[in-house]
Structure formats: structure tokens, C-alpha cells
Structure 1
Amino acid sequence: MTMITPEQIRGARAMLGMTQADLAKLAGISTTGLNNIERGTADPKASTLRAIQAALEEAGAIFVAANGEGPGVRLRKNAE
């Protein structure tokens, strides 16, 4: 499993309309920790990145693998 990037985290959070505080709470980490991860100044554990990814996916984000232009993120289509 490829770990998500700071850019994917920021993008997913923006698309979902979440604040850093919202995501940090859902992922069970501090807002400061999330801020450091998003800025690329922290070297988070794989378990922390998995928690962030799980929280974002639960909220509707889908992470896509590199497609020649790098990894990305999109929103899940609602099955309504």
C-alpha cells in the first residue's frame, strides 16, 4: 500500500470542506501534528498516515495511485 502524500491530505481535506482540527479529531491526532504532516516537516508513522487516510475515506475521499502525473485524490460519487 502506497502511503498518502501531504498534498493528497490537503487536497482531500479541502474538497471535503474540513478544517485541520476536524481531520485531526477524526484521525485521533493533534492539530499541530497534522499541520506538520501537511507542511512536510514531520516524518509520521505509517499508522498515523493510515488513520488520516481512513478518516478522509470515511468522509468521502478516494485516493488514486500515480498515473504518470503523480498520485491524486477525488471525491466518491454518492450512490443516491
Structure 2
Amino acid sequence: MIKPDQIRAARAMLRLEQKELARRAHVSVATVRRLEAEDAASNVAGTTVARIRNVLEEAGAEFIESGVRRRAMRNPADREARFRAIMDIAERAAALPVSNPDFSEADLYDENGLPR
């Protein structure tokens, strides 16, 4: 059975908020919070723990005896999909400055150097 620390570590590694994990596992946020508490084993059903674990594993976590790690890419198709996702993010980020207006010091501060 996975431990609360492993679940918190997996969420952090995968950058999943409790709300998103709960949504993907079809459980309440309160259930995720209980599962991440120190006395989680007595408060959450085993099937719910298994569902949370499956969601985290599908997202890329691999639970090991001493903790959790990111699962290695399995095949070239996985690597290509990840590369495409990263390139999509890069293209969106590159477009941001174009859509934002340029600001100068004169726009932000008055002639005395005080914020407008």
C-alpha cells in the first residue's frame, strides 16, 4: 500500500493539485486530503487508494519501496508525444509577448520616479 508521503511526492512531481487529482480519480478533494494525512490507511477505502494510485501512475509516477519516481518513457511514440506537447507550450509562450503591450518607464512612473 502506498504511503501518504508518496502520494504527496507524486502529486508534487507531476504538478497535480489535489483538486485535479480528485477530479481524475472521481473522488472528493476531502478524500484526497484524508489520503494524504498521516493516518490515511484507516480513513480511506482500499479501492479508493487503488484508484488514486492508478491515476498517479497513468500520469507518469512510479511507486517504489523507498518513494516515488517519474516513470521512464516506454517507447518512441511516448517520446514524440511529449516532445509535441513541449513544443506546443513553447509556441504559446513565444506568442505571449506579441499579444502584450510594451511598457516603458514613462508608463509606469511619473516625472518624480513615483508609481503612477
What TM-score range do you get, normalising by the shorter chain?
0.7 to 0.9
In the alignment, structure 2 segments of 5+ residues that lack a partner are: 80-116
TM-score where L is the length of structure 1: 0.83
d(CA) in 2 for partners of 1:26, 1:41: 23
Higher Cα Rg, which structure: 2
In the alignment, does 2:52 pair up with 1:52? yes
Q: How many residues align?
A: 73
Distance in 2, matches of 1:47 and 1:25, equals: 16
Alignment check: 8 A CA contact 2:18 2:33 kept: yes
Greater RCO (CA < 8 Å, at least 6 residues apart): 1
Q: Report the alpha carbon displacement of residue 41 of structure 1 after superposing the two structures with TM.
A: 4.6
Mapped partners of 1:41, 1:57: distance in 2: 22
RMSD, aligned CA: 1.3
Alpha-carbon shift at residue 77 of structure 1 (Å): 1.9
Relative to its length, the structure with more helix (as a share) is 2
Mapping for residues 32-43 of structure 1, pairs under 5 Å: 32-42=30-40, 43=43
Who is 2:61 aligned against? 61
Aligned match of 1:76: 71
- Distance in 1, matches of 2:13 and 2:45, equals 24
Structure 1: distance between partners of 2:36 and 2:27: 13
Q: Deviations along 1:24-73, whole A, 9 cap, x unmatched?
A: 111111001111211235421110110000000000000012xxxxx310
- Segments of 5+ residues of structure 1 without an aligned counterpart are 66-70
| Percent of matched pairs sharing the same residue | 42
Counterparts of 1:61 and 1:37, CA distance in 2: 17
- What amino acid sits opposite 2:37 in the alignment? R
